[in-house]
Amino acid sequence: MPDGDTTRQGRTLRTPSALREAGLLRPGAEADAARVAERFAISVTDHVAGLIDRADAEDPIARQYIPDAAELVTAPHEVEDPTADAPFTPVKGVVHRYPDRALLKPLLACPVYCRFCFRREVVGPDGGLLTEAELDAALAWFEATPAVREAVLTGGDPLMLSPRRLGAILRRLAAVPHIDTLRIHTRVPVAEPSRVDAALLAALDVGKPVFMAVHANHAREFAPAAVAALERLARNGTPLLGQSVLLRGVNDSVQALEDLFRAMLRARVKPYYLHALDPAPGTARFAVPDDEGLVLLRALRGRVPGLAIPTFVRELPHGGGKRPIGAS
């Protein structure tokens, strides 16, 4: 684990046996889950475990986080690195695909591990924390690349860093004259809202805008503790955007998407992107065809405020970048 302290947040479930003891694995599912765990990380925070309806075999929260035997099957079209970051990595931890913005991945740990994650081959509790020297080199790259106007922190989840380390990174980036805005992509406000504390809020206060793109896929992820965390961020001056993935069995209906985007707006989060699923290994059970997604989004128009409608995007293969799908 990076220096984020996970124990103070309550018990996080990280093994098939812990999931079984918590009533989150069906009888007989533990052996398959153990095989999944050999390849892909598992984590369900105490907060998320409390959102799961154990009586519902189709629960849309459980489906996002509880390992399934289907993950052991890689479909022919699935690839290990669907966004093809590697050719766009000028220095370890940086992805520079568009001239004016670049990603910084300071670590690859997350509060929860999503079963559909496009980086599932690399994320994990002990993976990818940049060393001090690597982080210094990555930040020096931002300082030396004047075309870059926005630094996007992703990972993994940057809010798994301690506020002290996160604050140091944000302050150094904010001090770069050509960087106008910072952005953090995170699941923490909905997955482990207790991390949004006074120390984190202070770390975000760096004198330049720090946008936060919050990853959530179902209305029930906007539980009271999550909404309160988002309100703290909003009052702190952090503009909030929503980022979702269109997922079979989680949000693949007009009603589920309407509920999700309305829940975001109530939590002061502007829906920004709805991503089509990237074909990472063992994720086929979540796939929704693009034309079906387009029909869903078109049905939302007129039914919800324009403010509630994100841009529907797909990551092109071989590192082609994001492309809006249809005229949604």
Ligand X SMILES: *Cc1c(COP(=O)(O)O)cnc(C)c1O
Q: What residues make contact with ligand X under the rule CB under 6 A?
A: 95, 97-98, 101, 103, 152, 322
Q: Which residue, 57 or 86, is less far from ligand X as judged by CB? A: 86
93 Cβ contact partners less than 8 Å away, ≥ 6 residues apart? 104, 105, 106, 130, 134, 135, 138
220 binds, among ligand SF4, ligand X, none (CB under 5 to 8 A by kind): none
Q: Is 220 in the site for ligand SF4 (CB under 6 A)?
A: no
Map the footprint of ligand SF4 across residues 142-171, applying CB under 6 A.
156-157
Q: Which residue, 95 or 223, is less far from ligand X as judged by CB? A: 95
Region binding ligand SF4 by CB under 6 A among candidate stretches 68-76, 109-117, 164-172, 202-210: 109-117
| Partners of 210 in the β-ladder | 182
- Which amino acid is it at 85? D
Q: Which residue, 94 or 304, is less far from ligand SF4 as judged by CB? A: 94
Count of positions on this chain that bind ligand SF4 (CB under 6 A) = 10
274 binds, among ligand SF4, ligand X, none (CB under 5 to 8 A by kind): none
97 binds, among ligand SF4, ligand X, none (CB under 5 to 8 A by kind): ligand X
Backbone phi, then psi, for 296, in 5-degree steps? -60, -45
Position of minimal CB gap to ligand X: 97
Q: Is 250 in the site for ligand SF4 (CB under 6 A)?
A: no
Cα 175 to Cα 210: distance, rounded to the nearest angstrom: 13
Structure-token pair, residue 160: 């798994």
Q: Which residue, 182 or 214, is less far from ligand SF4 as judged by CB? A: 214
The SS3 of residue 227 is helix
Q: Least distance (Å) from ligand X to the CB of residue 272?
A: 7
Whether the ω angle into residue 156 lies within 30 degrees of 0, i.e. cis, is yes
Spell out, one character per residue from 168 to 197, where the chain touches ligand SF4: x when CB under 6 A holds, - when not. -------------------x----------
Map the footprint of ligand SF4 across residues 111-130, applying CB under 6 A.
113-114, 117, 119, 123
Q: Which residue, 63 or 119, is less far from ligand X as judged by CB? A: 119
CA distances 174 to 137, 140, 203, Å, are: 16, 13, 12
Q: Is 215 in the site for ligand SF4 (CB under 6 A)?
A: yes
Instruction: Kindly provide the b/e burial profile for residues 283-322, where b requires at least 16 CB atoms within 10 angstroms of the residue's own CB.
Output: bbbbbbeeeebbebbeebeeebeeebbbebbbbeeebeeb
Cα 123 to Cα 195: distance, rounded to the nearest angstrom: 20
Q: Which residue, 127 or 239, is less far from ligand SF4 as judged by CB? A: 127
Q: Least distance (Å) from ligand SF4 to the CB of residue 207?
A: 28
Q: Least distance (Å) from ligand X to the CB of residue 14?
A: 28
| Partners of 242 in the β-ladder | 214, 271
Q: Which residue, 113 or 142, is less far from ligand SF4 as judged by CB? A: 113
| Partners of 270 in the β-ladder | 241
Residues in the chain: 328
49 Cβ contact partners less than 8 Å away, ≥ 6 residues apart? 13, 22, 24
Q: Which residues bind ligand SF4 (CB under 6 A)?
A: 110, 113-114, 117, 119, 123, 156-157, 187, 215
